[in-house]
Chains A and B, each alone.
Chain A
Amino acid sequence: MASLLSVIVSIVFHGLAYAMVLYVISVGLSLTMGMLNFVNLAHGVFAMAGGYAALWIMKAQGAPFTLALLMSALLVALASIVLERLLYRRLYGAGELDQTLMTIGLIFMATAAAHFAFGPLPQRVDLPPVISGHFFVAGRDFPTYRAFLIAAGCVMFLVLWFGIERTLVGARIRAAVDNRSMAQCVGINTSRLFTTVFALGSGVAGLGGGLGADIIAIAPGYAMEHLIYFLIVVSMGGLGSITGAFVAALILGIGDTACKILIPEVGAFFVYAAVFVVLLIRPAGLFGRTT
């Protein structure tokens, strides 16, 4: 009985931590893809950039972890505004193929640039001592970093949910997404709004990259290797849904962990099987709106 309980605790704890990593690196994509209707495959580039920036700020400037995370998210958001104005904007109305080609191209360029600047090896992550050890609850030890991830992921979810669902800016964003011309008619500057959403999505991605750096290592191939996870979380949750991405990440994280612990032989397949099942039943994703 005790061992069964301990297995369940392991699954829930580690599953939650993995779910939060999936969530923080993917939710930004749900924002840009769902709200701007833009197939931004280069999403991982922003997460990777955030990771490199956060680690560099910590190493070179000696800044504390949380400050480095926030600064890197801000940097990535600012950089993404430049990209949005220069590149993305031109393709807002274009077909999906054009958007895909451009963003895949961005991935290749970012991968080469990161390889050139930082080398092929993953970046070393030095977590502050406060969150790098273990803590004990009821005779079991838990890694503190994972507990921190769980907390940070939940906070991020609440802030985003509140921002989009309960504030005026959020209402404007939702209005512009639902009916852009009507929103423009009532005086909403949709162009600026879209830039804001893009910067928000990218900034959140940058934050996620830095936050999850100790689990999903920051290396040049990041954007391409993990693309499948971003897309899975977003399509399973439903485009543009903050809650959907959260629930999808929870299902995937906890399910994947449960399989790895209970039936390791099929551990690798769970994620894909889950996507199949969900999309068969709900093609628009768990919280997606069918049009």
Chain B
Amino acid sequence: MKMLSKIAFGVVGLHALMVAPASATDQVIKVGMILTLSGPSASLGENIDRGAQLYFKQHEADLPPGIKVEIIKRDDTGANPDIAKRLAQELIVRDHVQFLGGIVFTPNAAAIAPLATQSKTPFILMNASTSNLTRLSPYIARVSYTQWQTAHTLGQWAARNGFKRVFIAVSDYAAGIDSEKAFEAGFAGEGREIIGHIKMPQTTPDYVPYMQSIKDAKPDALFMFTNSGRITTAAVKGFAEAGLSQAGITLLGPGDIASDEELDNMGDAALGTTTAAIYAASDPRPENVEFIKLWKKAYGEDTVPSFMAVCGWDGMAAIFSAIKAQKGIVTGEGSMQAIKTWTNPFSPRGPIAIDPDTRDVVMDVYIDKVQKVGGKLVNVTMETVRNVRDQWKVLNPQ
């Protein structure tokens, strides 16, 4: 029955698209969303898309009269810079989009950056979290977060909280290496030591052997970064299966490794995982309660939005505010001017703003721990670090 209604919904939706072109007086602003919607990381792209669509539906009516927004969605299928670039080119040249957005993977964003510059198309990153990305084009702004914002904050927290010997295992690509450096920079200090590094392939079915050798090194904690989704679930299960939690080793990482939507799949293996996250679905602030309510209404009672979903929501919010600020004539420069100074005190994740100098996001970072509340695994916030900026840009001035 559920499937039938889904099909029916799809058919009706398709129909609506075909029979309802914008009337002649309407100005249609096209937003090209490039996301990973298939392959091992499909859930990441889908979450961003769902968050963005939710904002779109909720705030469509707030647009200035005569302006309509159309979202054009494309699937880059994973960390594939060549595909992402081709899609961006098509969106710019053929569909004449006024905004580009989305992007799960850093390499894809880097490939699109020159196109954004040439065509003066604002390019809003809703995940891709490697620090230097915003420097690749003056038309890039990031609403998500950087690995430095989460991992550096976590490194400082681990240093404050008595961890002495930490092992680092990260996915062997840009974001993983970024998070490793960031954690080390935050953690470094008298009497503290990184006792080992492992760079793991971005996908591998079996993480237990890595975990076994980490366990044998006897650290206090393991700092880990893997891509959120199925890969992280396998890694966290490996952590538990090799018995690291019983050996008294704490699992630390950016919020990617304890994404709310994945906790249920990880099961009790995730208990005790401590992360520096940008969003927790359990956050009781009213904006988040409202967001969760809308989410469950749209996507089902048993679904939970992840931090990716909130980034999609925020990205669309930034695009909408840029459209509204320009009163009808939307240009690339005008949009960037508006987005550069965009602030939103009422995002579901808390107050966020774009730093006009770096076009990168400034936000609160939450130190969360996975705990069982009422029989369900949730991220419980233990500490909030306010107004976190990207430390990499501070340490590496242009």
Contact = CB atoms under 8 A, between A and B. Distances in A.
Interface of A: 3, 6-7, 10-11, 14-15, 17-18, 21, 111, 115-117, 119-126, 134, 141, 143, 145-146, 214-217, 219-221, 224-226, 229, 256-257, 260-261, 264-265, 267-268
A109 to B, nearest CB: 13
B209 A14 contact: yes
B136 interface: no
A10 B43 contact: no
Contacts of A217: 230, 233-234, 265
9 contacts: A115-B42, A116-B6, A121-B43, A146-B241, A215-B206, A217-B233, A217-B234, A221-B38, A268-B204
A21 B205 contact: yes
A10 B216 CA distance: 10
Contacts, number: 108
Contacts of A141: 243, 246
Nearest to B10: A116
B212 A134 contact: no
B95 interface: no
Given A221-B40, A225-B39, A265 B209 contact: no
Contacts of B204: 260, 267-268
A143 B242 contact: yes
Q: How large is the interface on B (under 10, 10 to 19, 20 to 34, 35 or more residues)?
A: 35 or more
Give the most central of B39, B43, B208, B264: most A CB within 10 Å.
B208
Interface in B188-221: 198-201, 203-206, 208-210, 212-213, 216
Contacts of A125: 267
Contacts of B216: 3, 6-7, 10
Enumerate the 5 nearest inter-chain pairs by beta-carbon distance, A residue then B residue, closest first: A268-B201, A260-B209, A120-B42, A120-B43, A257-B209
Give the most central of A115, A225, A267: most B CB within 10 Å.
A267
Nearest to A264: B198
Contacts of B198: 264
Contacts of B43: 119-121
A124 B267 contact: yes
A260 B201 CA distance: 10
B37 to A, nearest CB: 8
Give the most central of B43, B261, B262: most A CB within 10 Å.
B43
Given A217-B234, A221-B38, A124 B201 contact: no
Contacts of A115: 38, 42
B209 A219 contact: no
